[in-house]
Amino acid sequence: MSEIEIRNLTKKFEVKGMTVTALDNISLSIEKGDIFGIIGMSGAGKSTLVRSINFLEKPTDGQVFIDGTDLATLTEKEFRKKRSEIGMIFQNFNLLEQKTALDNICFPLEIAGMRRREARKKARELLATVNLSEKEKSYPSQLSGGQKQRVAIARALATGPKILLCDEATSALDPQTTESILSLLREINEKLHITIVIITHQMSVVTQICKKVAIIDNGVLVEQGDVEQVFEAPKTDAAKELLFDKKVRYSPLDILHEARKIRIVFNENSSYEPVIANLILKFQTPVNILKADTRNVGGRARGEMILGLPESQTLQEEIISSLKERGLTVTEVEEDV
């Protein structure tokens, strides 16, 4: 049984007399212990989706099941208990400025009725978990962005949740701090066996930490699957746009307007081969490298390239066949990507 199951979920809002559909008939399952990514561009509906998991946004239609329980069928008391099993962290940290790091973590424990002495003991244990013990007396204004997010993570873990929802939790952080927060989340997932759902618009976050991914585009679930599969061979325009990043131009070579562009992904065997050099020697024709990159995908370095092929259609097909024979994944790149 899935720990989180969303069935035919639709969410509509009334805005100035008009009905806006933020989510349209979404269905997906998240297994216990997964690190699951939900990704999309701004306004795609991903934050609305994650807020529907704990009913911060109640669906217009459809159902949300946690451990087989339909949240809509619970009494208010049952619902409060179930929601305590779902922690959440946000992009802007949501810390109480007038409280120290320790007191911020104590806050949900004291609301739950835990004695102050026990709450402070638990909070100190959580500060140690996020490697921030020395900052227990610091106020949010005295902490860096990464430290604030670590306090927010510790606070989210205070009630012993089974599920941790992360809504753009790294978007306000620099790349190095982002990497440290993702490493911490992976460690929490492994040690505490907590299911983590990450909402992001950054494909680098998904490839680095997530096991599975769902892609949302204009409120519709357009693609889902294992992260490696989506990385190697994206099927939808939304997935390709997120992977290729239209805001990043290839290089000055882009002005050559190649007749055809392809993306190749290197597997472990082909990573050590001079693939492009071999192509040029075999076909006696130049192949332009428009973009080359290495990404962390599931803890492994995976190389990718965007190539510009020669004008001859016959030669294009022969080059693509040769690449596939060597075990590389090849996908087409649209001209406007």
One DSSP character per residue, 70-103 reads EGGGS-HHHHHHHHTTEEEEETT----TTS-HHH
Distance (Å, whole) CA 9 – CA 2: 16
Angle of helix 101-111 versus helix 145-157 axis, rounded to 10: 20
Instruction: For residue 312, count other CB atoms closer than 10 A to its CB.
Output: 14
Residue 250 confidence (pLDDT)? 41
Identify the DSSP state of 180: H
pTM for this predicted structure: 0.80
CA angle 71/77/80 to nearest 5° reads: 60
Residue 287 confidence (pLDDT)? 82
Question: Is residue 253 scored above 60 in pLDDT?
Answer: no
Sheet with 220-226, side-by-side order of all strands:
86-90, 163-167, 195-200, 35-39, 212-217, 220-226
Question: Is residue 336 scored above 60 in pLDDT?
Answer: no
Residue 304, both tokens: 């990718």
Question: Is residue 229 scored above 90 in pLDDT?
Answer: no
Question: Is residue 144 scored above 50 in pLDDT?
Answer: yes
Residue 75 confidence (pLDDT)? 92
Kindly indicate the confidence band of residue 113, based on its pLDDT and cuts at 50, 70 and 90: confident
> Which domains are seen in the chain, by residue range?
4-234 (3.40.50.300), 248-333 (3.30.70.260)
Question: Is residue 137 scored above 60 in pLDDT?
Answer: yes
Question: Is residue 268 scored above 70 in pLDDT?
Answer: no
Strands (E), 153-297: 163-167, 195-200, 212-217, 220-226, 260-265, 288-297
